[in-house]
Amino acid sequence: MMKIKNSNKKIKVYKPKWNGFKWSGLSDARRQSIIYIGLVVLLCILMLYTGYALLPRIIGPPNADKETQASTASTDQTALTSVTESQTENTDTPPVKETSVKAYRMNLSEIADTDSLRTGIEKIKNSGYNTVVLPLKVTGGGLYYVSEVSGASWAVRGELSLSDAVSVIRESGLVPAASMSVMADHIRPKYHSYSGYMFDAQEEFWLDNKRENAGKPWLSPFSEGAKTYTASIAAEIAAAGFEKLFCGDFVFPPFRDKDLEYIGWSVKNPERYTALVDMAKIIGSTASEYGTVVYIEETSDRIINSSSEIFKPEHLNGAVFAVKINLEKTAPEKLTDDIAAVLDKLEGKADKKFVLPVIVIGDAASGQIAEIGQFLSDRGYPSFSVEKYYELPAETLFTKAPETKETSD
């Protein structure tokens, strides 16, 4: 058997000695290198600090494009102010000052170009109005002016120049105003799919019907792309000098039960209305930067039957609601009686100081503008808008859907 010899000798481990840093022990060359490196580091820090401090003075404050500004606008600030608030000047032409809004809303044929606009203004110039409302973005998503917003060219349906329109209106002594449809947009999500509704946890896009049945995408208030686009359109209109902006179609699509399942919790949530409220705040905040007052449009029927998902005065502090009262089929002799009947119901739901009635009339009642205005004023509504009912042309609506998953049986 082999014997293993056990040694009790200790193993020596080498331990380097550290006597601390001694400047005196360094060579002159090493000392110079350390000093040089320290000076370079100090100089770099000084240059970075100086550049950061002077950059805003050299290139001006950060000013991202309107789409980026709109998407990051604070939704906590509500810029939806009362109808009597004075306006900030936006262009070289001084804005018309008024204490109440007496608005006439034109139809699309009257804003085809500046000549059509002048003709339309001449017809109503002496009818007691002080404001002209141009329908610049209509239900369906069509833009009836030349837009410079990125990606908006697919939606342009008109040739009107915003700056020219503002000049023509102000030359007539009237206040330029505009209207825009917000969520009932079927054009933008066709060409920018992520601005529409999507199937839950899938990269597929929702339509409100089969493709062969003219299924349409809808702009979604949950989409950051939709928020950016909508705010950019509002900013473009306000920057051109339109002092008032009537924003309507704060609605969700007419979802069926299975559509709610397809899309998921965002549209099933009982508090989904907050997405519409946030969209209204974004528009208001954006427009207010140019001194433009925003009104939220809603129908009298939705407010009265409590089906509106945007009529939330408690969440939109100070917002003025432009309430549409559709009387296009009412006989002229019954017009004021029918207005009174609707207002009786409406006043049980809304404080009249936050309501601007929008009376939609037929051709037969065209001669009763002065009577309508006097009646509303006596009723406690010094501000109002009147528009003639008309059908939107077919080209404003989107009919051919993009490739996506079908949602109908």
Q: What percent of the chain has pLDDT over 70?
A: 75
pLDDT digit string, tens, across residues 66-108: 333 333 333 333 334 333 333 333 434 344 444 689 999 999 9
What is the pLDDT, as a whole number, of residue 22?
55
Question: What's the mean pLDDT in 290-318?
Answer: 95
How far apart are the C-alpha atoms of 197 and 262, rounded to whole Å?
10
Res. 216: pLDDT tops 50: yes
What is the pLDDT, as a whole number, of residue 407?
41
Give 80 or 294, the one with higher predicted confidence: 294
Res. 3: pLDDT tops 50: no
Each residue of 205-219: b (16+ CB within 10 Å) or e?
bbbbeeeeeebbbbb
Residues 6+ apart with CB under 8 A from 120: 106, 110, 111
Res. 339: pLDDT tops 80: yes
Give 57 or 212, the one with higher predicted confidence: 212
Q: Which two tokens stand for residue 216?
A: 């349409």
Write down the mean pLDDT value for the chain: 81
pLDDT digit string, tens, across residues 114-163: 999 999 999 888 888 999 999 999 999 999 999 999 989 999 999 999 99
CA distances from 24 to 21, 27, 39, 346 (A): 9, 8, 20, 91
Count each helix (H run) and each strand (E run) in the chain, helices first. 12, 8
pLDDT digit string, tens, across residues 356-371: 999 998 876 767 777 8
Res. 325: pLDDT tops 70: yes
How far apart are the C-alpha atoms of 193 and 204, rounded to whole Å?
9
What is the pLDDT, as a whole number, of residue 281?
97
Burial of 257 (0-12, 13-18, 19+ CB in 10 A): exposed
How far apart are the C-alpha atoms of 250 and 128, rounded to whole Å?
30
Whether pTM exceeds 0.85? no
What is the pLDDT, as a whole number, of residue 5?
46
pLDDT digit string, tens, across residues 342-357: 999 999 999 999 999 9
Kindly report the three-state secondary structure assignment for every residue of 69-123: HHHHCCCCCCCCCCCCCCCCCCCCCCCCCCCCCEEEECCHHHHCCHHHHHHHHHH
Residues 6+ apart with CB under 8 A from 83: 100, 101, 293, 295, 320, 356, 383
pLDDT digit string, tens, across residues 276-288: 999 999 999 999 9
CA distances from 43 to 244, 346, 358 (A): 54, 70, 66
